[in-house]
C-alpha cells in the first residue's frame, strides 16, 4: 500500500478495508514500518520497534480495529515481554510479565502494536525531551515540541506513521500534545477506562485513551476499552454501549461557558486568544449560546494542590523502581528534576497530601454545581502558548547545578515545600489549562481548529460534567463535520 493511500484512511477506515478483503493487515504493518523508517530519524517519536506478533495477532473478523497498526506510549500500559521504561534509566531493563488491562483490550479490538513512543521521564512534563531517548519533535516544525507527556504518540499520528496511538493524561498529557500536533485528543471521565493492574495511580488523576485524527476513531476506541476492570478504585460512569452510534445525533443547543484567559492568571499568547475567539464564532454559527464564564479557581491553590499530588506520586514511582529491578533508587538513575520532585514528595506530610486531595474533591463538587444548571460545557484554550521550541523549557546550567548539589545533601522539609510553591507557578506557565479537569475527574478534549501564522497548530479545550463523555464526543463530531480536519496534515517526509 502506498503511503498516500495509507494515510488517507483513519483507523476505522483501514479496518473496514481489512474486513472487506481489500487489503491485508500485513500490508498495513509494512506501510507503518516504512513510514517509521522515513520520518522517525527526524522526529524521534518511536523509541522501540518489534515484530507485531509480540503486540497482537490479527483478531477474529469483526473486531473494530482488526489488523490496524498501533503504537503504545512507553509508560501508559504494559505489554508482556516488552520493556517498559517510562523513559527512565532506572527501568531501562525492566520487562513486565503481563499485559495491562488497556493493552489487553487494545489487542482484543484487533490493534497490532508495532512499537513504543517517546515521552518524558514518568510523564512529568508537558514536553517530551527525556535524557534516555532525546527529544521527540513536532512534525509541523521539528524545531518545536509535540507536547507531553504523550508527545511521541502525537508526533507519530500527525506524521502519518499510524492513524491512532495510545496516550495517558495525568495533567493534560493527551490534550497538550493534541493541541501541539493538530489532533483530536479526548480525556475520558475518571474511571471510564481501566488503569489495572495498577491500584490508583497518581490518586485518580490518570485517564488513559488514544490520540487520533478523527472523532469516530476516538469514539470507537472508547467503545472497545470503556468499563472498569475488576477491583478498580472508581466505578465507570454511566455510558452508552456504543459511543460511535451516537455521533450522528445532532447536539441540542448548548450553553457554553468560555474562559478567555489562563486559568492561572497568566496572559494567554495572542495566537491562543485568537484560537478561542475563532472557536466561539464557529460554535455560535452552529446555533450554540456562548457566555463568558470563568472557573472559580484560586490559581495558587490549584497549582500547589496539583504539584503536591505530582510530587507524592513521583516519589512513589521512584521507590517502586526497586521492586521492579531490585536496585535501590539513587540520583544517578534518574533525571535531576525527577529526583528533586521525589525529594519533595518524601518531605510532604500526610496532611499535605490529604489537603491536596481534598482540594481536588472540593473543586469537583464546586464545578459539579455549575455544569448543568449554569453551563452545559466549558470552552478555553488548551494551552497558554503555541508549541514551544525544543529545549525552551529545559533546565539551565545554574538550575542543573543546583539540583545536582541537592542530590547529595540533606534539605530541610520546609525548604522543599517552598521550592514546591515556586515550581508550581513556573512549571505550569505554558500549560495551565488542563490540570483542573484531571483533579475533578471531568472529561475534556482538545479540538484542532486553529493554525497560527507560523504554521503551528493550537487547540481549544472543551470540558463537560463528570460522565458527559457522550455529549462531548457528539459536539466534537458536529464541529468536525462543520470544519473537517482529518486531512490537514503537516508536510514532512
CA distance 459 to 461: 7
Order of strands, sheet of 46-49, starting from the edge strand that comes earlier in the sequence: 46-49, 112-117, 69-73, 164-169, 207-212, 184-187, 444-451, 457-464, 377-381, 255-258, 289-292
- According to the 3-state scheme, what is the secondary structure of 18-60? HHCCCCCHHHHHHHHHHHHHHHHHHHCCEEEECCHHHHCCCCC
CA distance 192 to 51: 31
Quick check: is 173 catalytic? yes
Quick check: is 73 catalytic? yes
Helix (H) or strand (E) holding 458: strand 457-464
CA distance 92 to 114: 19
Q: Which of 128, 149, 382, 446 is catalytic?
A: 149
And the C-alpha cell for 468?
A: 458527559
Work out whether strand 255-258 and strand 377-381 pair parallel, antiparallel, or are unpaired: parallel
Quick check: is 150 catalytic? no
The answer to whether 146 and 169 have CB atoms below 8 angstroms apart is no
And the C-alpha cell for 126?
A: 508537558
Q: Which of 88, 100, 128, 173 is catalytic?
A: 173
Catalytic residues: 73, 149, 173
Amino acid at each position: 500500500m502506498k503511503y498516500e493511500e495509507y494515510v488517507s484512511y483513519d483507523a476505522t477506515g483501514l479496518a473496514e478495508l481489512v474486513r472487506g478483503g481489500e487489503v491485508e493487515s500485513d500490508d498495513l504493518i509494512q506501510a507503518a514500518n516504512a513510514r517509521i523508517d522515513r520520518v522517525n530519524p527526524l522526529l524521534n517519536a518511536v523509541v522501540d520497534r518489534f515484530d507485531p506478533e509480540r503486540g497482537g495477532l490479527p483478531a477474529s473478523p469483526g473486531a473494530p480495529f482488526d489488523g490496524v497498526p498501533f503504537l503504545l506510549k512507553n509508560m501508559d500500559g504494559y505489554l508482556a515481554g516488552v520493556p517498559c521504561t517510562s523513559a527512565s534509566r532506572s527501568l531501562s531493563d525492566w520487562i513486565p510479565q503481563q499485559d495491562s488491562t488497556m493493552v489487553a483490550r487494545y489487542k482484543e479490538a484487533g490493534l497490532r502494536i508495532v512499537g513504543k513512543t517517546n515521552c518524558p521521564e514518568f510523564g512529568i512534563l508537558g514536553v517530551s525531551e527525556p535524557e534516555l531517548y532525546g527529544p521527540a519533535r513536532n512534525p509541523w516544525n521539528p524545531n518545536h515540541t509535540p507536547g507531553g507527556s504523550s508527545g511521541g504518540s502525537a508526533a507519530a499520528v500527525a506524521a502519518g506513521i499510524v492513524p491512532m496511538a495510545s496516550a495517558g493524561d495525568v495533567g493534560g498529557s493527551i490534550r497538550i500534545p493534541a493541541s501541539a500536533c493538530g489532533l483530536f485528543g479526548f480525556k475520558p471521565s475518571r474511571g471510564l477506562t481501566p488503569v489495572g493492574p495498577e491500584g490508583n495511580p497518581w490518586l485518580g488523576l490518570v485517564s488513559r485513551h488514544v490520540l487520533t485524527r478523527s472523532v469516530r476513531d476516538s469514539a470507537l476506541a472508547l467503545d472497545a476499552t470503556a468499563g472498569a476492570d475488576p477491583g478498580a478504585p472508581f466505578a465507570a460512569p454511566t455510558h452508552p454501549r456504543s459511543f460511535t452510534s451516537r455521533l450522528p445525533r445532532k447536539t441540542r443547543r448548548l450553553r457554553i461557558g468560555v474562559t478567555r484567559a489562563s486559568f492561572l492568571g497568566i496572559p494567554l499568547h495572542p495566537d491562543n486568544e485568537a484560537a478561542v475567539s475563532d472557536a466561539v464564532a464557529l460554535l455560535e454559527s452552529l446555533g450554540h449560546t456562548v457566555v463568558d464564564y470563568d472557573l472559580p479557581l484560586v490559581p495558587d491553590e490549584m497549582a500547589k494542590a496539583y504539584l503536591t499530588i505530582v510530587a507524592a506520586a513521583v516519589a512513589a514511582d521512584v521507590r517502586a523502581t526497586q521492586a521492579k529491578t531490585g536496585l535501590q533508587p539513587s540520583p544517578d538513575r534518574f533525571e535531576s528534576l525527577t529526583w528533586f520532585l521525589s525529594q519533595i514528595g518524601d518531605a510532604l506530610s500526610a496532611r499535605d497530601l490529604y489537603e491536596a486531595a481534598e482540594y481536588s474533591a472540593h473543586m469537583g463538587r464546586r464545578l459539579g454545581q455549575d455544569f448543568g444548571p449554569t453551563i452545559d460545557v466549558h470552552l478555553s484554550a488548551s494551552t497558554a502558548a503555541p508549541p514551544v521550541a525544543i529545549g525552551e523549557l529545559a533546565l539551565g546550567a545554574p538550575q542543573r547545578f543546583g539540583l545536582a548539589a541537592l542530590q547529595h545533601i540533606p534539605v530541610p522539609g520546609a525548604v522543599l515545600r517552598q521550592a514546591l510553591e515556586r515550581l508550581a507557578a513556573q512549571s505550569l506557565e505554558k500549560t495551565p489549562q488542563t490540570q483542573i479537569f484531571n483533579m475533578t475527574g471531568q472529561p475534556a478534549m482538545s479540538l484542532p481548529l486553529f493554525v497560527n501564522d507560523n504554521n503551528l497548530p493550537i487547540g481549544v479545550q472543551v470540558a463537560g460534567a463528570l460522565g458527559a463523555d457522550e455529549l462531548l464526543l457528539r459536539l466534537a463530531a458536529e464541529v468536525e463535520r462543520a470544519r473537517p480536519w482529518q486531512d490537514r496534515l503537516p508536510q514532512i517526509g
